[in-house]
Amino acid sequence: MKRFVLTLLLLAGILTHLFCQQTITRVGVVDMKRIFPIITANIPEFRAFNEKRTRYDAEKEKQENEIKELKTQLTEIEAEPQNRNRDQNITRLRSQIETKERSLQTYILTNSVSLGREEEQLKRNQTLIARLNNAIQAEANYQGISVVLDRSQPGVVWVDLRPTARVDITDLVIARLRGTR
């Protein structure tokens, strides 16, 4: 009888252990903001978009620098002693600054909306999404992970309590996408 009870307890312990192992969900995270530029680097549409964004940023910076220069000139003229041309120059510079600031605001508004829409359309590229999902799924399966979260999304916070555990699989996914894994 003792042998039967011990065997039953041992069997119950083994089954409980196996059942608990199967119900523990392993969670992994990826940083899509790091992955996305890497997988889009060789796609012509994304290269063209990145060039357009670079031109936008350069033009915006150029206009901002022009405004700063005009404001510097205005400050210097305002510091000069009173003379006949001073008031005219101040009025002229203030008008130029105001015009350039309105132009910059219009430029930023129209181009940022346009670039935002274009970026969203590019991110909906089904081939790209499928390739990315396949790489993430393959790496998650390989690592025994059943849930993968995008850590670049607001509200996704994780704490890795076990330093030997690999929660962030971003580098592994990038290696898989590059074909080095």
Tell which wins on pLDDT, 9 or 30: 30
Pair of tokens at residue 118: 């274009």
Return phi, psi of residue 28, to 5°.
Answer: -125, 160
Q: Is the pLDDT of residue 149 over 90?
A: no
Distance CA 154, CA 78 (A): 47
- Kindly report, residue by residue over 67-110, the tens digit of the pLDDT: 999 999 999 988 888 877 888 989 999 999 999 999 999 999 99
Tell which wins on pLDDT, 98 or 12: 98
Cβ neighbourhood burial of 140 (10 Å; 0-12, 13-18, 19+): buried
DSSP state of 153: S
Name the pTM for this structure: 0.59
pLDDT of residue 20: 59
Distance CA 172, CA 23 (A): 25
Q: Is 121 left (phi over 0), alpha (psi -120 to 50) or beta?
A: alpha
Q: Is the pLDDT of residue 116 over 70?
A: yes
pLDDT of residue 22: 54
pLDDT of residue 23: 55
pLDDT of residue 126: 82
Provide the 3-class DSSP secondary structure of residue 137: helix
If pLDDT is split at 50, 70 and 90, which confidence band does 159 have?
Answer: low
Q: Kindly list the distances between the CA atom of residue 102 and the CA atoms of 50, 79, 158, in Å, as whole numbers in the listed order.
A: 26, 26, 44
- Using the structure block, give the residue that is written with the tokens 């940023």: 57
- Kindly report, residue by residue over 20-67, the tens digit of the pLDDT: 555 567 888 888 888 888 888 888 888 899 899 999 999 999 999 999
pLDDT of residue 104: 95
Type of residue found at 143: Q
pLDDT of residue 161: 60
In the predicted model, what is the mean pLDDT of residues 137-160? 80
Pair of tokens at residue 147: 């849930």
Pair of tokens at residue 14: 């083994």
In the predicted model, what is the mean pLDDT of residues 130-137? 90
User: 103 with 62: CB under 8 angstroms?
Assistant: no
pLDDT of residue 119: 86
Q: Is the pLDDT of residue 7 over 80?
A: no
pLDDT of residue 18: 61
